[in-house]
Structure 1
Amino acid sequence: MANPPYYIGCPSWSENAWRQSLYPEDAHSSEFLRLYAQVFNAVEGNTTFYARPKDSILQRWAQVLPEHFRFTAKFPGDISHAGDLREHLTAAEDFLQLLAPLGARAQPLWLQLPASFTPNRVGELATFIDALQSQALGGRSLAVEVRNMGFFDKGEDERRLNRLLLDRGVERICLDSRPLFSCVSSDAAVLHAQSKKPKVPVRPAALTQFPQVRFIGRPELEANDSFVEQWAQKVAGWIEEGRTPYVFLHTPDNVQAPDLARRFHRQLMTLLPGLPELPTLERGPEVEQLGLL
C-alpha cells in the first residue's frame, strides 16, 4: 500500500519466530526490516523507547524503508518517564535531530506517558508540546498516550487533556487491551502481558487526521474477532471521513501479531471494496508443501 488509505503494522519487525509465518525460513535477521516493509507500511518504534539507535543503524533503516513507510518513533523512556518533561526538552530535540535520516518516515512521534503522569501535570505537557512544535518537530505529527486513570474519568480532567491536544493538532493514542484482559489463561506469555500492559478504558479518539490505535489481542486469533470487527467498522468510518488511521496489532508474545494484522485487514476489506490484500512474501516451495502458508 504505497498510497494507503490507512497504515497497519505490528509492534516490531525483529521476531525470529516470524520465520514460521511471515519471513522466508532462511532470511537473515538483518533482512527483517526490508522484508517487513514489503508487507506492512508502518511499525511501532518500540526500539527507540529503550535505547537511541546509532547513526549507522538509522542510515541503514533509511536505505531500506520506502518513502511511504511510517516509523512511529517513541521518545526514549529517559525523556517520557524521568520526571518533569520540561527538564528534558534539550534531550527531546537532540532525539528528533537523531531521527533526521528517516525524514517524514519518522512520524508520528509518540510520547507514551507513565501512569504516574497525573492530570495536574497537563500544563507541563502543554509547555513540552509547544516547545517541540515551535522548534524541533519540523512539521512532523505528534501523538500522546496517557495511562493515569484520571484521564479516563469523562470529567473535566479528561476534557482538559483532549482540548489541549485538539488545539495543538496532537493525536491521543487509543490503547485497546480488552481482548488481552478478557483472556483467562495460565500461559506465561499471557500472564506476562497482563502484568505489563495498561488496563484502561478504550478511547477511540480522532482529534486529528491521523487516529492512532494499539490493539492488544488474545493468543487465539479467532477469539479476537468481535473486537476486530468493531475496530474495522471504526477505522472504515474514519477512512470514509477522509482521515488516515494507524492501526497496530499485538498478541501477548507477538508471535502471531502479523497473522492478527492480516485478519484485521481482511475484515476491513469487506467494508471497503477495492482495498487490496496485504502482500505475501515468497516463502519457497518447501514451506508451501508443508502447508505453512
Structure 2
Amino acid sequence: MPIKNVQIPSTSPITSPRCYIGLTQWQHAAWQDNFLERSSHVHVLQAYARHFSSVEGNTTFYGLPKQSTVEQWYKESSEQFRFCFKFPQEISHHRQLTHCKNETLQLFERLAPLQEKLGLLCIQLPAAFGPDSLNNLENYLKSLPADWQYAVEIRHPEFFQKGKAEQQLNQLLVSHNCNRISFDTRSLFAHPADDVVSLKAKEHKPQLPVHAISTGQSPMIRFITPLDWKWGAPYLDPWIKKAITWMQAGKTPYFFFHTPDNAEAPQLAAYFVEKLEAALPGCCLFTPWREQSRKQDTLF
C-alpha cells in the first residue's frame, strides 16, 4: 500500500541552470587544515556546507539517526544545501524492497525535519538484484510518496548490456521520474596502483560500464579516481559536456566525488567545478576556499 501519511517538503522552482556538488561525507581528518578549518564552536557540517551544496548521506544505509541529530543537521546546513540519503540496507538488501512498509515509513518520518533540504533519496541495490526482481522495484516505487525525488543505483551486469532488461529498467524509472545513478569507476580500475587502499577500493566498488542516461529530473553521478586524482581527471571531460547538456535541458544534476581514501576528493570536486563553470559561469552551487583557489593554476 502507498505510504501517504508523511508531510512532503516543498521545493522552490529552478530559475537558472544549477548543478549540486558534493562528497561522500562531510568530515575527514585530511580536510581539517584547509576548507574544514574552523573554530571550536562551529559544527563540522556548517564548515562543509560553506563550500559544498550536497552530500551523500551514507549513514542512513546502516541505521536511522536520532531525531535530535536530524534537527541539528537542518540548523547547521545552509539554505541551498541538499542531503542525498540512502535507503537503509534493511530495505534494499535484506528485504529486497518487499515487506518493508514500516521501515520505509520510519525513514520518511525521521527525515521529515529536514523539509526542503532533502535532495535525492537513493536506493542502492545489490549486484544480486537482477531482472527477475524488477517487479519488486516497480511495486516499491509505486508505494513511495510522489512528491519526493528518488534515484536508483543498480549493479546487476544484465542492466548494462543495452538489451531487454536494461530497456525495461530505464522505462520503469522514466515512468516514475526516478533518476538512474551512474557510478563511474573507470579511471580507478584503469590505473595499475597496487597499494592497500587502492586494492580495497577496487574490491568494494563495481566495475561496470557507464551509461550516461537521464531517466528523471536530477541525474546523479558518483565519480571515483585513483589515489592520484589528477590521473583520472581526463575521465571528467565527457561529464562536463553531459552536465551542460542536462542543464540546458532544464535538469538539475548532482555530482559526488570520491578517491580511494577521499583525502583529496575536495580538490577533485573543485577541479570539476572550475572546468564546468568555464563553460557555464555560476552554474555550480559551490564556493571555493582560499587555499584551493591559490593552487588551482598549478594543478597540471
TM above 0.5? yes
Gaps of 5+ in 1: 289-293
Give the superposition deviation at 1:186: 2.1
Amino acid paired to 1:148: H
Rounded Cα–Cα distance in structure 1 between residues aligned with 2:189 and 2:207 = 8
Q: Partner of 1:14 in structure 2?
A: 27
Match of 2:54 in 1: 42
Which of 152-161 and 101-110 deviates more? 101-110
Aligned-residue CA RMSD (Å) = 2.1
Q: Name the residue aligned to 1:5.
A: 18
Pairing of 1:1-293 with structure 2 (within 5 A): 5-24=18-37, 27-28=39-40, 31-133=43-145, 139-275=147-283, 278-281=286-289
- C-alpha distance in 1 between matches for 2:290 and 2:275: 23
Describe the superposition over 1:186-234 as per-residue Cα deviations: whole angstroms up to 9, x where unpaired: 2211111000001111011211221110001122122122111121111
1:65-99 per-position Cα deviation (integer Å, ceiling 9, x unaligned): 12321100101111111033121122011111110
Instruction: Assess if the C-alpha contact under 8 Å between 2:17 and 2:247 holds in 1.
Output: no
How far has the Cα of 1:103 moved from its partner?
Answer: 0.8
User: Equivalent residue of 1:238, what SS?
Assistant: helix
Q: CA deviation at 1:279?
A: 2.2
For 1:27 and 1:181, the matched residues in 2 are separated by 39
In structure 2, relative to structure 1, the CA distance for the partners of 1:282 and 1:229 (3 Å cut) is: closer
Counterparts in 2 of 1:188 and 1:90: CA distance versus 1, 3 Å:
same
Opposite residue 154 of structure 1, the aligned amino acid is: K
* Matched-pair contact (CA < 8 Å) for 1:23–1:281: no
Q: Would you say the 8 A contact 1:14–1:29 is kept in 2?
A: no
2:23–2:266 contact (8 Å) kept in structure 1: yes
Q: What TM-score do the two structures reach when normalised by structure 2?
A: 0.87
Residues 150 and 229 of structure 1: CA distance in aligned 2, closer, same or farther (over 3 Å): same
CA contact (8 A) 2:17 2:248 kept: no
Identity %: 36
Distance (Å, rounded) in 2 between the aligned partners of 1:239 and 1:180: 27
Count residues with an aligned counterpart.
279
CA distance in 2, matches of 1:249, 1:264: 9
SS at match of 2:122: strand
Q: How high is the TM-score relative to the length of structure 1?
A: 0.89
Structure 1 47/30 Cα, relative in aligned 2: closer, same or farther at 3 Å? Answer: farther
Cα 1:90–1:29 change in 2 (3 A) is farther
Runs of 4+ residues deviating >2 angstroms: 26-30, 273-283
Partner amino acid, structure 2, of 1:174: S
Q: Measure, in 2, the Cα distance between the counterparts of 1:155 and 1:132.
A: 28
SS in 2 for 1:110: strand
Local SS of the residue matching 1:249: strand
Partner of residue 291, structure 1? none
Greater alpha carbon shift after TM alignment, 94-103 vs 27-36: 27-36
Q: 3-state SS of the aligned residue for 1:85?
A: coil
Q: Distance in 1 between matches of 2:227 and 2:41?
A: 24
